[in-house]
Amino acid sequence: MRLQLNAARACRGDWSLKAEGTFGEGVHLVSGDVGSGKSTLALMMAGLLSLSNGTIARNGISSSMISLQFPEYHVTGSTVAEECMSWGLDPGPILSELNLMDKQDRAPLTLSRGELKRLHLACMLVKKYDLLLLDEPFSSLDAREKERICKLISQRTSGITVLFTHEQTTFPSVDYLWEIQQGKLIERGEMPGALHHWTHAPVLIKKLIASGKCLKNISPSDLIEAVCMT
Amino acid sequence: MIELSRLSYRMIMIDSLTIPPGITSVIGPNGSGKTTLLRLCSGIAVPEAGVIYIDGKTPRETDVGWVNEFPDKNILFSRVSDEIASSLRFSHQPCGEIDVAVNTIAQLMNITYLLDRTIKELSGGEKVLVALASALVEHPKILVLDEYDSHLDETRCLQIEELIRTSGVPYVIRCTQQMETAARGDYLLVMENGRITVSGNPIEVFASLDQTSFYPLSWRCNV
């Protein structure tokens, strides 16, 4: 199973993003500055944005889903329970897991932003999509919920998962690292070797590497282990 | 000082709380009432009972800058420069002064390149930067920021914090889910079920959260 970007290019006015590379099975992390084109790349990979050049080929991918940066864009139901049903799911188990049972008759947009994000990620992660594109999945989530989502991502035993995020501390274990710089997708490669070339690394990770700590990966437990062991 | 006394509104119940000048962060689980507290402090919502005073005045008698957690809800106009100028235009300030103020804040925030864009052409993070510029352009007495950092990279967050500190806004209240951001503030409030469970400086407050996921990872790693 793989997603192949062949000189794929998207343009908006005089701005453009060029992407080349192959996304295989596993967890990929894409980082880049505000406005660098992370969401644009996510939309390109989801097939929701027409390319001005190049192609994106899907091999062996039979289902795909994108979690948009803003959870409010996903709302289609008029109540929280209907929102779950719109994903073809029974609201009971999902809402009790999220502690939202008492809010099931409320309009989705009256939830807090974090609750809304939790709701749509929970519905999406129950399904087993081959290609899962997550644009800023951790924004608005509280610390415990970030950890829970990381665990669910790590439990995906097959498929391609791509995270586009500014998150600073709570990551799942990642297999592959990419960055967007000056309108171009750059392949940094496999973990942990890629860490040394990661220009958008969070300050904490940069400091740990600079002080000679040996990081196996970037999940909180990997960072704590690196501090304790080296 | 910001003083809250016998405050109740929907799920919020705060008997007594004093917030000193500086940057105050509000943390807590999703749905704990952070946004509701911020809405009360900004005067968007009015308490059902009790009072909030900011240096002796109610929030509605105070100049407030507000950034919503839903970036699209901040925006009224379709062009970035019109959006940033809006609060100054609504208060009938002279056109020349407005132009200068808009250009100054855009330069300070490194977003001059966005001024001629339309809102539709902005990324999520850029929308937040425009909302922040619109809130700061009027030099508010209190700046209320609801999760402004959830769509910004760390470098941008640090630049903005520096700008807020040098801009001389006396009170900043922000809620955040980045504990590293909360650790950098002057004062910290922890909320759960509409109540403040702990308040104080970040060192004291995080000491009480040592065993939870809310403890800053950089502190756990001694960095």
The rounded distance, in Å, linking the Cα atoms of B95 and B85 is: 9
Residue among B142, B135, B138 nearest B20 (CA): B142
Give the nearest chain B residue to A169 (CA atoms). B217
pTM, two decimals, is: 0.90
Domains of chain B, with CATH numbers?
1-63+169-223 (3.40.50.300)
What is residue A54's three-state secondary structure? strand
Q: Residue B84 pLDDT > 70, yes or no? A: yes
The rounded distance, in Å, linking the Cα atoms of B102 and A102 is: 45
What is residue B64's three-state secondary structure? strand
Bridge partners (DSSP) listed for residue B103: none
Q: Is B71 on the interface with A (CB under 8 A)?
A: yes
Q: Which pLDDT score is estimated for B203?
A: 96
Cβ of A139 within 8 Å of Cβ of B122? The answer is no
| Residues above pLDDT 90, as percent of chain A | 87
Rounded mean pLDDT of A97-123?
92
Longest dimension (CA), chain B: 55
- Which structure tokens are listed for B139? 């030099």
Of all helices (H) and strands (E), which one includes residue B3? strand B2-9
Helix pair angle (B80-90, B95-108), 10° resolution: 130
Q: Residue A230 pLDDT > 70, yes or no? A: no
Q: Is B211 on the interface with A (CB under 8 A)?
A: no
- Which structure tokens are listed for A130? 């081959």
Confidence at B148, pLDDT banded by 50, 70, 90:
confident
pLDDT tens, residue by residue, B101-138: 999 999 999 999 999 999 988 988 999 999 999 999 99
Across all residues in chain A, what is the average pLDDT? 94
Cβ of A113 within 8 Å of Cβ of B221? The answer is no
What is the number of residues in chain A?
A: 230
Residues of B in contact with A227 (CB under 8 A): 220-222
Bridge partners (DSSP) listed for residue B174: B25, B145
| Residues above pLDDT 90, as percent of chain B | 83
Instruction: Find out whether the peptide bond into B21 is cis, omega within 30 degrees of 0.
Output: no
What is residue A5's three-state secondary structure? strand
Cβ of A143 within 8 Å of Cβ of B30? The answer is no
Contact A85, A153 (CB under 8 A): no
Longest dimension (CA), chain A: 53
CB proximity under 8 Å: B 178-197 to A:
178-180
Q: Residue B51 pLDDT > 80, yes or no? A: yes
Rounded mean pLDDT of A40-65?
96
What is residue B86's three-state secondary structure? helix
Bridge partners (DSSP) listed for residue B145: B67, B174
Q: Which pLDDT score is estimated for B21?
A: 97
The rounded distance, in Å, linking the Cα atoms of A30 and A135 is: 10
Rounded mean pLDDT of A95-109?
94
pLDDT tens, residue by residue, B180-195: 999 999 999 999 999 9
Q: Which pLDDT score is estimated for B73?
A: 83
Q: How many CB pairs under 8 A join A and B?
A: 122
Residue among A117, B142, B138, B145 nearest B129 (CA): B145
What is residue B111's three-state secondary structure? coil
Chain B nearest C-alpha distance from A66 (Å): 16
The rounded distance, in Å, linking the Cα atoms of B120 and B114 is: 11
pLDDT tens, residue by residue, A170-227: 999 999 999 999 999 999 999 999 999 999 999 899 999 999 999 999 999 999 999 8
Rounded mean pLDDT of A121-150?
93
- Which structure tokens are listed for A102? 């008492």
Q: Which pLDDT score is estimated for A35?
A: 87
Domains of chain A, with CATH numbers?
2-63+128-229 (3.40.50.300)
Give the nearest chain B residue to A219 (CA atoms). B217
Give the nearest chain A residue to B212 (CA atoms). A144
DSSP B122-175: --HHHHHHHHHHHHHTT--SEEEEESGGGGS-HHHHHHHHHHHHHHT-SEEEEE
Residues of B in contact with A146 (CB under 8 A): 177, 213
Bridge partners (DSSP) listed for residue A190: A176
Residue among B154, B197, B189 nearest B25 (CA): B189
Q: How far is CA A73 from CA A131, B72, B95, in A?
A: 20, 10, 36
Residues of B in contact with A145 (CB under 8 A): 29-30
Considering only CB atoms, A166 lies closest to which of B34, B70, B153, namely: B153
pLDDT tens, residue by residue, B208-221: 999 888 999 999 88
Rounded mean pLDDT of A112-129?
92
Q: Residue A228 pLDDT > 90, yes or no? A: no
The rounded distance, in Å, linking the Cα atoms of A5 and A21 is: 5
Distance spanning both ends of chain A, measured CA to CA: 37
Q: Which pLDDT score is estimated for B213?
A: 87
Q: Which pLDDT score is estimated for B211?
A: 86
